[in-house]
Amino acid sequence: RLQGTKVVIAKDNLDDDIGQIDLANGKKVIFVHGHRDSPERIFQNMVGAMHMYVDYCLMGHFHSPAYREENGCRIITNGCLCGTEQYAMSKRYFGKASQTLLVFDGDNLIEHIIECDLK
C-alpha cells in the first residue's frame, strides 16, 4: 500500500516494522506499531538505531492517546481505533475509540484527537 509514496521502510539495521518519513521542512518522523517499544525509551532507541536526530516518534499499541516530549522530540501515541475489544479487555485496557490526526504546517504541528462514537 505504501509503494509509490514518500514513506520509507528502513532496511539497514532496523526491523521491517520501523518506518521513516522525511517532511518537506527537513524534520524526521519515525513510526512504529509500538509492541516492541515504550514511550519512555523510543526516542533513545530510534536515535541510536537510526544514527540521527528524530523530531517525531509516532506509536500505536497502547490503546490510549498520549503525548510527551523528550529532548525536543515529540512522542505521540495514537488511541485504539476500535475501542475496548476482546484483546484490550483481556489486558484491562479500557478506552474510547479514537484516532490522532497530525497536520504539519511549515514548522508547526497541529494535533487533533478525534473520538469515534462506535456504539
Q: Is 50 helix (H, G, I), strand (E, B) or coil?
A: helix
Asked if residue 12 has pLDDT above 60, the reply is: no
For the segment 12-40, the average pLDDT, to the nearest whole number, is: 82
pLDDT of residue 70: 93
119 compared with 112, residue with greater pLDDT: 112
pLDDT of residue 13: 47
Asked if residue 55 has pLDDT above 90, the reply is: yes
- Burial call 43-73: b when 16+ CB within 10 Å, e when fewer: bebbbebbeeebbbbbbbbbbebeeeebeeb
- Single out the residue of 74, 85, 94, 92 nearest to residue 29, CA to CA: 74
Asked if residue 72 has pLDDT above 70, the reply is: yes
